[in-house]
Amino acid sequence: MAETVLTSADLILPIFIHDREEILPVPSMPGVSRLSIPALVDMVGTARDLGIPCIALFPAIDPSLKTDDGSEAWREDNVICRAVAEIKRQVPGIGVLCDVALDPFTSHGHDGIVHEDYVVNDETVAALVRQAVAQARAGCDIIAPSDMMDGRIGAIRQALDEAGFDAVRIMSYAAKYASAFYGPFRDAIGTKMAKGRLDKSTYQMDPANSNEALKEVAFDLQEGADMVMIKPGLPYLDIIRRVKDAFKVPTYAYQVSGEYAMLRGAVDNGWMDERVILEALMSFKRAGADGILSYFSIEAARRLRAG
């Protein structure tokens, strides 16, 4: 009688990498580490063998390579591009999704180029286009702009097509909220601001808004997004349902770092039963998501396999 089914084919595994040999645990995300490229290749092989169809890559960039304009983002042999090429060479049969945004690469940690305390839209879009084309050239299958600038989906689609990458798909982070649930992620990629808080509320969405999410999704679809994403996940299940009902397009949810930290911490401390992991993932599917980005993907796929 089950109306909803969760399988390993619903999962996308986000992975943190860095350009170093050691494997560095992320303290606020027990069980998650920054990997070297060889360790990444192993993990991607494990994911593929468990039936996970796609992974998502996020870099922790050496502080010496970070600049105000984030230009490391479009250097063609940066760590992301080399990692993608290595996966494509060694692990056939699994998709690779790359995040497009400047935050891992900028000295200030914002997703775009800053002028006088403000992230400027159009100059940032031009930079994102260069980043997306570099990633496609490295072999990335899905470009996922997470920056929330206006007009970037259309600009990236046009640039990808002109460069001959018409088969590269775009998953837009269409409704991305200015959320404190991203805290552990900012530890993982090293963008937590030393002083004060990194406030992205001039370009990410107000958690109070729901109609606005539909507007953002409509723009991105008009501009050529193949799939849309809502983020964070669990506190925004209502948005997933509204988007799915309104547009009926491939709709994804990101169970973000803070959601992982909450569940992981509670399970590891014995405060909640480990069944909460699959229950939370199932809730995304019930809400209408076609797939879920989750740091639990490998563990969840193993649990699903064990039955």
| Contact set with ligand PBG (CB under 6 A) | 99, 101, 103, 111, 146-147, 182, 185-186, 200, 256-257
Which tokens hold the place of 82?
Answer: 């080399």
Q: Within 10 Å of residue 226's Cβ, how many Cβ atoms?
A: 17
Closest-CA residue to 178 (of 236, 265, 114):
236
Nearer to ligand PBG, 36 or 146 (CB): 146
Smallest gap from residue 229 Cβ to ligand PBG (A) = 10
Q: Find out whether 235 and 180 touch, Cβ atoms under 8 Å.
A: no
Nearer to ligand PBG, 90 or 209 (CB): 209
Choose the catalytic residue: 200, 231, 244, 285.
Answer: 231
User: How distant, in Å, are the alpha carbons of 14, 54, 57, 64 from that of 82?
Assistant: 17, 17, 11, 18
Nearer to ligand PBG, 90 or 299 (CB): 299
- Residue 177 is classified by DSSP as B
Helix (H) or strand (E) holding 216: helix 211-222
Helix (H) or strand (E) holding 145: strand 142-145
Q: Where are the beta strands (DSSP E) in 61-184?
A: 95-100, 114-115, 118-119, 142-145, 169-176
User: Which amino acid is it at 180?
Assistant: A
Residue with CB nearest ligand PBG? 185
Smallest gap from residue 24 Cβ to ligand PBG (A) = 17
Smallest gap from residue 273 Cβ to ligand PBG (A) = 23
285 assigned to active site: no
Smallest gap from residue 245 Cβ to ligand PBG (A) = 25
Q: Which residue has the tokens 């001959």?
A: 164
Q: Find out whether 222 and 170 touch, Cβ atoms under 8 Å.
A: no
Nearer to ligand PBG, 6 or 256 (CB): 256
Q: Find out whether 228 and 172 touch, Cβ atoms under 8 Å.
A: yes
Q: Which residue has the tokens 């169970």?
A: 255
Helix, strand, or coil (residue 131): helix
Nearer to ligand PBG, 258 or 288 (CB): 258
231 assigned to active site: yes
Choose the catalytic residue: 176, 200, 244, 285.
Answer: 176
Smallest gap from residue 80 Cβ to ligand PBG (A) = 13
Active site residues: 176, 231
